[in-house]
């Protein structure tokens, strides 16, 4: 299906929220997009990873996004094509992923291109928590 930073039928990408609040916001956004009651998605395992990457496209600063033609509306849009084009360019350039504001407006996400990991990069599973109750729904902060 692809995601915000990788087009459909492209390369494997792992999407991580940088905070638990971001993960919760993305959880609610996914449920809403699929027209599913969030309660029906429980229980849910939330995994934590240790990550150290050498080369990522950093879109956390607005000036960096604007250089690539991505305003806040493009980041938050249901039409992911503009973000997917930027992700495709980053992937083609050999970058390991994209770090950018979450489409939910809560903190940032890291999209890791699993086929582009460089020697010395780290992506290891740390642990998990199981949500048996719905997490608090975060308010958009960006």
Predicted local confidence at residue 139, as pLDDT:
82
pTM: 0.93
Distance (Å, whole) CA 30 – CA 11: 20
Predicted local confidence at residue 5, as pLDDT:
98
* Average pLDDT per consecutive 10 residues, the chain (142 residues; last block may be shorter): 94 97 95 95 98 97 94 93 97 98 94 97 98 92 58
Predicted local confidence at residue 95, as pLDDT:
98
Predicted local confidence at residue 1, as pLDDT:
78
Q: Is 16 left (phi over 0), alpha (psi -120 to 50) or beta?
A: beta
Q: CA dist 93 to 31, 38, 87, 98, 103, Å?
A: 33, 37, 10, 12, 24
Distance (Å, whole) CA 102 – CA 109: 5
Answer yes or no: are the C-beta atoms of 59 and 98 closer than 8 Å. Answer: yes
Tokens of 61: 């600063």
Answer yes or no: are the C-beta atoms of 16 and 102 closer than 8 Å. Answer: no
């Amino acid at each position: 299906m692809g995601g915000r930073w990788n087009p459909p039928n492209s390369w494997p990408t792992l999407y991580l929220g940088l905070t638990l609040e971001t993960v919760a916001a993305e959880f609610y956004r996914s449920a809403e997009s699929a027209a599913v009651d969030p309660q029906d998605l429980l229980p849910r395992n939330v995994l934590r990873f240790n990550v150290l990457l050498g080369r990522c496209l950093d879109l956390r600063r607005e000036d960096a996004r604007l250089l690539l033609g991505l305003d806040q509306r493009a980041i938050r849009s249901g039409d992911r094509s503009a973000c997917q084009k930027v992700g495709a360019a980053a992937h083609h350039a050999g970058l390991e992923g994209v770090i950018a504001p979450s489409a939910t407006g809560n903190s940032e996400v890291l999209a890791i291109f699993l086929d582009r990991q460089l020697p010395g990069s780290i992506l290891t599973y740390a642990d998990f928590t199981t949500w048996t109750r719905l997490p608090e729904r975060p308010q958009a902060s960006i």
